[in-house]
Amino acid sequence: MSDDRPAELTIDDRTIAVAVVQFAPGEDRVHNRDVASGLIAVAASRGARLVVLPEYSSYFVDPLGASFARNAEGLDGDFVGTLAAAAREHGLWVVAGLVEKTDVAHKFSNTLVAVDPAGDVVATYRKQHLYDAFGAQESEWVVPGDLDAPQTFAVDGIVVGLQTCYDLRFPEVTRRLADAGADLVAVPAEWVRGPLKEHHWTTLLAARAIENTLYVAAADHPPAIGVGASAVVDPMGVTIAALGETTGVAVGEVSSARVREVRERNPALRLRRYGVTPL
């Protein structure tokens, strides 16, 4: 007979507050940095230890074009410097998407960076699945990321993995992060609006959480271009913090005990019979 009692807490259990930040970056890079800093401060005031900002937080216009490469920055540029300063000031970790310089003419890298409370870059991830769908052609302007090892880092004992937007439609990306020990996956996004796209967004966030028995913290652009609905989803697919269509911050509690409890009840990762390898 199954035992549905919650797992017992242990001294090794960890709990952190995770914030998802929803805002619409534009063509003014200085303004984008100022808005990001302000929203990180709001998240910090609400107790966040990890703050997740959207994809393209450093620069964005619609549609993608040649201006992105002209406005691309290195990891030692002003945008990452702003994140580092905010992380140091508030004593927290920050994940955000930026338009990164490459050596390819007219192209850039759609990159995620994670910065720790010392202001150091502790993980980077370059988008592997480019958005060549629903009429868009991201690969015309973006260099795809290499199929490197999963990018993870730890926040107070909670292991965090990185992936971006369209990667959500490829379940093996999140599965590799789960195999790498992730308790939480941070998903900066610019999930473009369209017929049923908000439904796809919320469904995929829940699916990736449920099938990997981990948390998902996803930060999107609000309408009119994005769908909004940034959220923190728990390992049972329950949305524990969310935003609607406005700029703002939502904070959810992430618990290692919850991950352990769900994985004891639903040992799907242990019972599976297939692995994931890059093509």
Residue 261 annotated among the catalytic residues of the structure? no
Contacts by 107-110, CB closer than 8 A, 24 or more apart? 107/69, 107/141, 107/142, 107/143, 108/68, 108/69, 108/72, 108/141, 108/142, 108/143, 109/72, 109/142, 109/143, 109/145, 110/55, 110/56, 110/138, 110/142, 110/145, 110/164
Q: Is the Cβ–Cβ distance between 219 and 230 less than 8 Å? A: yes
Distance CA 40, CA 53 (A): 9
Set 55, 190, 198, 211: catalytic member: 55
Q: Are strands 184-188 and 15-22 parallel, antiparallel or unpaired?
A: unpaired
Catalytic residue among 73, 107, 138, 165: 165
Residue 127 appears among annotated catalytic residues: yes
CA distances (Å), origin 124, targets 111, 166, 224, 271: 7, 17, 29, 31
**Which residue in the list 100, 127, 198, 211 is annotated as catalytic?**
127
Tell me which residues are annotated as active site: 55, 127, 165
